[in-house]
Amino acid sequence: MTKKRLKEIIGFVLLRICIGIVAFILIVILYDIISKGAGKISWEFLTAMPKKGMTEGGILPAIIGTILVTIITAVLAVPLGMGCAIYLNEYARDNKITRLIRMSIRNLSGVPSIVYGLFGVVLFVQLMHLGTCILSAGLTLGLMTLPWTITASEEALKNVPNSYREGALALGATKWQAVKTNVLPYAIPGMLTGTILGLARAAGETTPILFTGAAFYLPFLPKSLFSQFMALPYHLYIMSTQHHAITKVRPIAYGTALVLIVLVFTLNLSAIILRYRLRKRKME
Amino acid sequence: MQNLNPVRKSERALLEDLSNGVKIKVEKFSFYYDGVQAIKNVSMDIKRNQVAGIIGPSGCGKSTFLRSLNRMNDVILGSKSEGRILIDGSNIYDPDVDVVEIRRRVGMVFQKSNPFPKSIFDNVAYGLRINGIKDRDYITHKVEKSLKEAALWKDVKDKLNKSALELSGGQQQRLCIARALAVEPEVVLFDEPCSALDPTATAKIEELIQNLKKKYTIVIVTHNMQQAARISDLCAFLMLGELIEYDVTSKIFTKPSKKITEDYITGRFG
């Protein structure tokens, strides 16, 4: 065997090991959670209130809380993020200020979530007097998701060929017409995918909502957006570290983890399906 | 009588131009990208219902010049123009001119055919719709008329709802021509429209351009000197942003008045 061929084989084996390790870790995590959590999943677990200091009953308030917070997050992050991306990619001149703004946005996506949590407390809870509630938590997560939404949306816009813009302009379209009718329709699938992935990430966050509205134990559903709420990731955190009977509630923790994973996975899957369908429709 | 109502010299010249069939008058036009001068003080008259060809080596400013005629260069950041370009006597670079309306009046066909990923029908109807036309019967009528004008109707009349991306390269380019014609331009600019096409498709486009000049004023940039010789009435030779020579095509290709033009057309450089 030649030396060249040997090197080729070693290279491939190393790369296979890399992917193998990653796949192995993922499978172990999923197996652990599914095997220990699946037994706990029942209609009652999904639809009942927690009882007796969370040692019995279901996790309905946490499911509802997470869904509501994610909706608020989307309401803030989706239109604002897409709007910023459209401005930056289609309208903004390429000068120092634009570059600075773009760089800041990239950097914001690296800010630790605890910092967003603290910022949310100061801005929404205290300064805007919203109190600790679903709205404050959702808005905080919205801010955290914004850089992701903007960056993903901008990438999607960049992928639309410039000839679509020029072609429209050359027919007498205004810039906005060109963007609206001949750029956005082709960028929307990519924009939505990036956005939903950002939302899925936000749905699983604990720290930002910890300060801004998530509660330890509320055996009833939130009455309004100004109520405190239970959330799946926070519930999981409580069940696995703060509860007075940790070993007793372990199955509930695993059940909660499974529900959270399924929720996030559903969001991701819907992003993939949505992208596929929109793309197919556009190309026909 | 003349003394009572004196016509100013410039106005008289304008009237003269119009009666001589000048559609586009380029006056001492210069164009800069980020301070680099791409077009240098070019002046030329382009006549109504004629094909004006623009030839020159790569990077000579042909495309920049063409895109100045419908202000597509406005899109480029850090660009600046000097001088005037008059269409029917009014300067399209006047500050109060509506650039969107200029681009409707001066259509453009690009080097790389750029059908939108829509149906054939929607491609041609696109320009009508963005210009605010909603009457369906009119749009249907206009789409058919434009496709006929672009010699594409026979090929596509049974598949108007199919994606434009399914057409062949030559058909796509004729679709782009139909799309440009649908908004009733007065001038049509062609930026190397055949550079990606095979000889048969090229011949079809050339024939089409010959027919179109009966109704429109045509300006075509081409890399292919035979093409310029075949289809243009007047031909401009541009080099490094300067207009070297502009004359009747047969004269440019048989006895050009400048040595450098002769060197270029005989293939000594370029």
What is the extent of the structural domain holding B193?
Answer: 48-60+99-235+245-265
Tell me if B76 is assigned to some domain: no
Is the pLDDT reported for residue B65 higher than 50?
A: yes
In chain A, the percentage of residues whose pLDDT exceeds 70 is: 98
pLDDT at position A51: 77
Confidence bin at B60 (pLDDT 50/70/90): confident
Taking alpha carbons only, the member of B94, B106, B109, B111 closest to residue B24 is: B106
pLDDT, chain A, mean: 88
Q: Where are the domains of chain A?
A: 43-283
pLDDT tens, residue by residue, B135-151: 999 999 999 999 999 99
Of A167, A119, A155, nearest in space to A140 by CA: A119
Output the CA–CA distances (angstroms, integers) from residue A208 to A121, A134, B78, in the order listed.
9, 12, 43
Residues of A in contact with B177 (CB under 8 A): none
* Residues A245-273, mean pLDDT to the nearest whole number: 87
Q: How confident is the model at residue B10 (pLDDT cuts 50, 70, 90)?
A: low
- Domain membership of residue B70 (yes or no) is no
> How far apart are the CA of B219 and the nearest CA of chain A, in angstroms?
15
Q: Which two tokens stand for residue A78?
A: 């989706």
Q: Could A169 and B107 be called an inter-chain contact, meaning their C-beta atoms sit closer than 8 Å? A: no
| pLDDT bucket at B3, cuts 50 / 70 / 90 | very low
Summarize the confidence of residues B224-234 as an average pLDDT. 91
How far apart are alpha carbons B204 and B46 in whole angstroms?
A: 24
Flag whether pLDDT at A62 surpasses 60. yes
Partner-chain contact B107 A166, CB within 8 Å: no
Global pTM value = 0.82
Place of tokens 């967003």: A116
Q: Is residue B19 part of a domain?
A: no
Q: How many domains does chain B have?
A: 1
> Is B38 within the bounds of a domain?
no
Residue-level pLDDT at B4:
47
Chain A positions touching B77 (Cβ under 8 A) are: 93-94
Cα separation of B150 and B152, whole Å? 5
pLDDT band at B66 (very low <50, low <70, confident <90, very high): very high
pLDDT at A208 over 70: yes
A94 CA: distance to closest CA in chain B (Å): 8
CATH 1.10.3720.10 fits A43-283, yes or no: yes
User: Would you call B179 and A283 a contact, using CB atoms and an 8 Å cutoff?
Assistant: no
CA distance A175 to chain B (A): 9
Among the partner-chain residues A167, A169, A282, the one whose CB lies closest to the CB of B75 is A169
Q: CATH number of the domain at B126, please.
A: 3.40.50.300
With 0-12 CB in 10 A as exposed, 13-18 as middle and 19+ as buried, what is A95? Answer: exposed
Would B27 be classed as within a structural domain?
no
Residue A14 has pLDDT above 90, yes or no: yes
CA A270 from chain center: how many Å? 13
pLDDT in tens, A140-174: 999 999 999 999 999 999 999 999 999 999 999 99
B177 touches chain A (CB under 8 A): no
Q: What is the pLDDT of residue B143?
A: 95
**Is B193 an 8 Å CB contact of chain A?**
no
Residue of chain B with shortest Cα separation from A167: B114
Task: List the single residue in A with minimal CA-CA distance to B67.
Answer: A170
